[in-house]
Amino acid sequence: MAQENAAGEATRPAENGTFDAVVIGAGFAGLYMLHRLRGLGFTAQVYEAGSGVGGTWYWNRYPGARCDVESLQYSFSFSEELDQEWNWSEKYSPQPEILAYANHIADRFDLRGQIVFDTRVTAATFNEDTDTWLIETDRGDRVTAKFCIMAVGCLSAPNRPAFQGKSDFRGPIYHTGEWPHEGVDFGGLRVGVIGTGSSAIQSIPMIAQQAVQLTVFQRTATWSVPAWNEALSAEYLKDAKAHYPALRAKARARPTGFYFPFNIQPALQASSEEREQQYEAAWRRGGLPFLGAYGDLLFDKSANDTIAEFARQKIRDIVKNPTTAELLCPHNVFGCKRLCVDTNYFETYNLPHVKLVDVSKTPIERFTKDGIVVDGTEYMVDAIVSATGFAAMTGSFDKIKITGRSGRTLAEKWSGGPRAYLGLASEGFPNLFMITGPGSPSVLASMIQAIEQHVDWLADCLGHMRDVAANSIEPLRENEDAWVAHVNDVSMVSLRSTCSSWYVGANIPGRPRVFMPYIGGFPVYVQKCNEVMNSAYDGFVLKGARSNNAPPRVRFTERWHVPLDIEVISPAAVAAKRVPVV
Ligand code: N01
């Protein structure tokens, strides 16, 4: 029967199909998962809340949005033909180009036919009698699948702080993570931007070009390094493509899953002059690789203090008004929160119509019909941009009522923080998988590499289950507990565990403080996944299998047998688990 949406428009009929797998989300993870499932002959359906593919890059259309991992590495590596045929135009791709790439993937691999758009999954419920999942959507679909695969993204659930008086404000309020597709013209307007994370530092210089007045409300000053973005010439691309497989291999062997020059020397072993030169050279390279200037910057606070002071001096050099410059200087650990990569962020504060308001000690009091009140002063604005981030890592799971064995929900199980074995699956939720879930490298590696490795591992796992006629797979509690403890232990070695970032859920009041991504390094993690697979899924229980001890036939995981690049990490650091990550 045809359904109606809220506007009373006729929509597609609800479905009651049965599939081998349902995938939730059509970002890069969902697209690649679908490609692998199809290749193995599984029936699959993808549900996507948006009207198109691309996930993060579909929703985050704010001005200036671009990736902070270089284009040549922020892309799929599974197809050499794809690598050769796609041409990136800039060192750091802008959002429209990454979205075009996602659309190219969907078309080139003929994926659209199995993606249902404009449909949000609302519930997934495990049936213990049939070992299947019932998946329900906001369009009335009720479909059944043996496997439910969460490709919901790590930074996809916008954080909208409950500012008082929000509904009083007369103008529009935009969130960077759900930007209007038609774009926004800020010409002639007074604009207020709340937040100074990655989304803000990218959009502020662009908004400043249009707005007649821009007021930035800063709660925590941000560390940011210039991108030095540039167009990629035809010669550069030709040369890079001639060596693409080697670049991919080097990238996989890095803790971050992407390649950049890295100096393993400890910062304090260098003289202050040497350090200055080294930081200057790294600043000239720019971007996230700035953190590769020395090997111990994220482990040793004294070493970190040296790079922090260098970066503060850069801010003071750029920003002409000394009071504004001091306000823009962070005093927390350098790179503790996700390092930002900008184009003209600090320079923007030299413009006469751009104002910085400190809300660190006196938070935003309320919105009024005409503006934002801080410490008794009303700042008049016509439009507000909320660059306030996301309920990271688990926010997208929270939006779906996921009910596993014995009627227990994932939200109940994760109320004290997420618990998942390898960030892939959670005890009590058989046949439910996560791509780049909490406890996997995910956001601390290049996302697309992390996605590919997970999908390949999952594809091999599902292929194996079919080979041995297993009904279900589920992690054992003790293995999951041990992994969660290991993720936590490793995080303690890094200075990253010390600040109130979204990595630990601390950007949103009331969330449990748990370091969510795996910080032990991408190759170390890959090795663990491979060991689990090669030992016939150690730590998982396979139910109903004809033979559950046989090592699986490796179809796709082979290419992830990567050694840790010891060139960038001293054996002593590995032994001490001091594996640096960006
Ligand atoms: O979000 P954020 P984001 N009152 O959480 C502030 C990826 N990404 O969307 O730090 C006032 O980093 C908050 O203040 P504080 C990337 O991984 C990548 O910018 O909590 N302010 C902070 O300044 C990134 O890390 C790219 O004190 C409030 C800001 O809002 C992640 O996404 C581009 C507030 C939120 O910063 C998230 O980035 C964009 C309040 N009540 C994003 N609540 C690239 O690839 C929050 N804030 C380049």
Give 97-113 pLDDT, tens digit per residue: 999 999 999 999 999 99
**196 in ligand 1 pocket by Cβ < 6 Å?**
yes
Q: Determine the distance separating the centroid of ligand 1 and the alpha carbon of 330, expressed in angstroms.
A: 15
| Cα 290 to Cα 68: distance, rounded to the nearest angstrom | 12
How many A from CA of 505 to the centre of ligand 1? 12
The response to whether residue 388 sits with its C-beta less than 6 Å from ligand 1 reads yes
Q: Burial of 496 by CB count in 10 Å (0-12 exposed, 13-18 middle, 19+ buried)?
A: buried
List CB contacts of 439: < 8 A, sequence separation 6 or more.
Answer: 418, 419, 420, 421, 422, 423, 483, 484, 487, 516, 517, 518
Give the residue whose CA is nearest to atom 20 of ligand 1. 507
49 or 509, which is more confident: 49
Pocket flag, ligand 1, residue 155 (CB < 6 Å): yes
395 lines ligand 1 (CB under 6 A): no
Would the CB of 458 count as within 6 Å of ligand 1? no
Q: Does 577 have pLDDT greater than 70?
A: no
* Å from CA of 60 to ligand 1 middle: 13
Whether residue 212 is predicted with pLDDT greater than 50 in this model: the reply is yes
What is the pLDDT at residue 579? 55
Question: Is the pLDDT assigned to residue 10 strictly greater than 60?
Answer: no
pLDDT mean over 531-548: 88
Quick one: pLDDT at residue 546? Answer: 79
Query: What average pLDDT is seen over the chain?
Result: 93
Q: What are phi and psi of 85, to 5 degrees?
A: -90, -20
- Rounded to the nearest 10°, the torsion over CA 443, 503, 412, 454 is 20
From the CB of 161, is ligand 1 less than 6 Å away? yes
Residue nearest to atom 40 of ligand 1 (CA): 161
User: Whose CA is closest to atom 34 on ligand 1?
Assistant: 388
CA of 157 to the centre of ligand 1 (A): 12
| Segment 257-293, tens digit of pLDDT | 999 988 888 999 999 999 999 999 999 999 999 999 9
Q: Report whether 400 contacts 124 (CB < 8 A).
A: yes
Ligand 1 centroid to Cα of residue 49, in Å, is 23
Which pLDDT score, from 0 to 100, does residue 361 have?
Answer: 97
Q: Which atom of ligand 1 is nearest to the CA of 363?
A: 4
Nearest CA to ligand 1 atom 38: 198
Contact 399, 411 (CB under 8 A): no
